[in-house]
Structure formats: C-alpha cells, structure tokens
Amino acid sequence: MQLETIGVFGIILGVLARFWPVWLALGIVLFLSLRYKKRLGLYGHLFDTSVGVAGVMICFFWLFTAIFADVVSPFDPLQQIAVMKNALPGSIEPGTGQPFLFGGDRLARDVFSRTVYGSQIVLIIAPAATMFALMVGTTLGLPAGYYGGRVDSVLSFLANLVLAFPVILLFYLLVTPGIRETAIPQWLAGFFFVFPLIFFGTLFYTRFAARPGLLVMQLGLTLLIGGWVYLGLVFDADPLGIISISANQLNIFVAVVFASAPGVFRIVRGLVMDIKTRDYVAAAQTRGESPWYIMLWEVLPNARGPLIVDACLRIGYTTILLGTLGYFGLGLAPESPDWGTGIKESSRLLRAYIHPALPPVFALMSFVLGLNLLADALREQSLKD
C-alpha cells in the first residue's frame, strides 16, 4: 500500500507545531530569567554568556518535552499500526490522518512519539540516580578527607576497588538477566538508598542539636518523607501508590549509583582535604564545633561549585550509559521507548532504513551537549567566584 507523505517542509512545520507547549514554556522561562537574573544568584549568572544560555535552554527543552509528552506526541509510543511498518518520515497514517513525522519503526510504531516519551525515562533515571550517587559519595567522602588515617585508607580502598573494574562490564554484571532474578539489586538498593536518610539526619542534628523542638520536627519529617520514598523505591510498597519503580528501572538505578558513587567520593575527598586547611575551618574548630558540623556546614558549602559542575557532567555520562545499556539489550524492557532501546531496535534495519535510528541518536546527543555546555558555564562562574 502506497502511503501519502507530507514532504520535508511539512515534516519541519509539523515538528515545530507539535512542540508548541515546549516553545511557550521556554519563552516564559527565558523572559523571566533575563528579567530577574540579578536576583537569581548562580542561575542568573548563567545568562551572562551564550554558552550558559544555550546549555540552560537545551536542558529545559528536554525537561519540558518530558513534562508535556502527552501533548507533544500524536500517538501512543507502544501503539502498533500494521500499515505503518518501516514507514518513511512524513507518511500519513490512514486511520487518523496524522503523519508519522519521523516515520515508523520495524514494529510499526511512531518514531517521533517514542523519542518524545523516551525523554521522560532519561530525565527520571539519569538525574535521580546521579543525585543518589552524590549522596553516597559525599557522605563517605567527607569523613575520609577530614579524618584521614585509617578511615581514609579503608574507604579509599573500597572506592578504588570499584573504580578499577571496567564500567561496561560492571554494568553488564549488575543488569544481566541472571542477576535481575536474584535479590542482589534490591539489597544494594536498600543499602544505597539509606544514605540520604543518614545525610539529612546528620545535617539537621548538627545544626539544630541545641534546639530540641526544631530538631525533632526536622528529624521527624526526614524519617517520614525519607521512609516513604525508601519503601516506594526499594520495596515498591508505597502505601499511597505514588512512588514506584519497575524491577528493570531499579536494577539500572542501582548500577548507576554503584558505578558513579566512587568517583564522587574521590572528588569530595580531595576537596575536603584542601578546604579543611582553611582559616574558617580552624576558627570553627576553635569554637568547639563537632567534626560533622564542620564537614557539613563549613566545608561542604565551600565545595559546592565543583560538585555542581561534576553533577551536570555525571548526568550526561549516565545518559550515555543508559543509551549503551539499552543498545546492548541490558536496559529497560524491550518495548520501552527509551533512546538506547530505540537505537538498538533501529540498528537492525540500518542497511535498508536509517530514519528510525536518527531521532533517538540526535536526542541523546543534544541532551548530553546541553549538560556539557551547562557544566562549562558553571565552571566559568565558579572560577570567577
């Protein structure tokens, strides 16, 4: 059956039109950011350079794409329409009259819709896993750099042990089907996900120990919210049914945290070893402040610049790793619209049909580019400060 097409110009206009809520949101953010940038601190300074503006806008583009995916996508990413199998870009679906803007894949699904919905998966897993890795690495890196000695030796040995293992092979071992069927990922998740509770519990205790009423409230909220998230993520037992994560997503989450935390640990350790020699740290020690108070409230705030830059870069690395895992079939479920799986599915048809592979490739590449530009702008700003 010969399908009608809308042509290259029609495809471009169609894509621009489908993203209308994203363009609107970007315009509002850009207008408000430029108008109030002097009041927005570090974020406002990003708009002083073209690199910063480009990085922020690219990242926001994919953020808003994920938020408005239901509006942007003309089709369900899992919907199969037999007549659209391997359809060329711009082919019109006879039933609805809507075009497959980027064509159809080998299972007759809309490539454009799958690329858009893939942003949701990437923007949930990559930043969240990176934040947990930062929590684990920071919680262990602070005492290693501050105390030194045996504490540093033990923790550094464990971190170097993980770092010495090839990353791709490490991911393969953690996400391979044989491991997925055991309780190992859940045990690791239970171990890693307790670090945010430890971090925030210690943070509030060292700050409000002299104010019992406020301390009890802070610790109570930490345990309540943290325990709720912990139950939902580790055991999929959120009593409200709001927080949940599939087994495949949990395995990838754990693998990313396990592989990324040692790198964060080494960065934090090095920063603490440098900052602990500063005069304001000596002044806090003279006042009789506890070591953990000094680490969390004197040292860590002064290490935030390099850590923010590293977080941006690490989210980009994680995005690439997710794509790599998906390409090797070790990521999410085969029907998942994530970008790595899309590239893998399309690679089987590269000799005959190249169009299904290009959108997820350019999506992944542009998101990582935006994060790198954002990290460069943040690095320049941190050097000025």
Average pLDDT of 348-373?
80
- Place 108 in a pLDDT band, splitting at 50, 70 and 90: confident
- The residue with greater pLDDT, 316 or 176, is 316
Picking from 19-28, 110-119, 177-186, 257-266, which range would have the lowest pLDDT averaged per residue?
177-186
Output the CATH code of domain 119-320. Answer: 1.10.3720
Q: What percent of the chain has pLDDT over 90?
A: 40
Q: What is the pLDDT of residues 285-299, one digit of tens each?
A: 998 889 999 999 999
How sure is the predictor about 116, in pLDDT bands with cuts at 50, 70 and 90?
Answer: very high
Of these ranges, 67-76, 172-181, 225-234, the one predicted with the greatest mean pLDDT is: 67-76
What pLDDT, on a 0 to 100 scale, did the predictor assign at position 37? 87
Report pLDDT for 384. 67
Q: What is the dihedral of CA 201, 310, 278, 152, to 10 degrees?
A: 70
pLDDT value of position 178? 54
Q: Could you report the per-residue pLDDT of 188-221, keeping only the tens digit for each? A: 888 888 999 999 999 999 988 888 889 999 999 9
Q: Tell me the pTM.
A: 0.87
Tell me: pLDDT of 10 over 70: yes
Question: How far does Cα 318 stand from its chain's mean position?
Answer: 7
| CB neighbourhood size of 179 (10 A) | 15
Q: What average pLDDT does the segment 250-261 reach?
A: 84
Predicted confidence (pLDDT) at residue 118 exceeds the cutoff of 80: yes
Top mean-pLDDT range of 144-153, 300-309, 326-335: 144-153
What are the residue boundaries of the structural domains of the chain, listed by start?
7-116+354-384, 119-320
Decide the pairing of beta strands 91-92 and 99-100.
antiparallel
* pLDDT over threshold 60, residue 351: no
pLDDT confidence of residue 141: 95
Angle in degrees, CA 172, 174, 179, rounded to 5: 105
Q: Which residues pair with 91 in a beta bridge?
A: 5, 100
pLDDT band at residue 96 under the 50/70/90 scheme: confident
Of the CA atoms within 13 Å of residue 202, those in its CB half-sphere come to 20
b/e for 56-90, b at 16 or more Cβ within 10 A? bbbbbbbbbbbbbbeebbbbebeeebeebebbebb
Per-residue pLDDT band for 181 (boundaries 50, 70, 90) equals low
pLDDT band of residue 115 (cuts 50, 70, 90) is: very high
Please answer whether residues 357 and 350 qualify as being in contact, where contact means their C-beta atoms are separated by less than 8 angstroms: yes
| Whether the predicted pLDDT of 332 surpasses 80 | no
Average pLDDT score over the chain: 86
Whether the per-residue pLDDT at 367 is higher than 60: the answer is yes
Mean pLDDT of 260-268: 93
Say how far apart CA 96 and CA 109 lie, in whole Å: 14
For residue 92, give every residue at least 6 positions away whose Cβ sits within 8 Å of its Cβ, in sequence order, or none.
3, 4, 5, 6, 98, 99, 100
Please give the average per-residue pLDDT across 111-125, as a whole number: 90
Res 237 pLDDT > 90:
no
Structure confidence at residue 179 (pLDDT): 54
**Residue 73 pLDDT > 80, yes or no?**
yes
How large is the average pLDDT for residues 364-376?
91
Residues 13-59 have pLDDT tens digits of 999 999 999 999 999 999 999 999 888 888 888 898 899 999 999 99
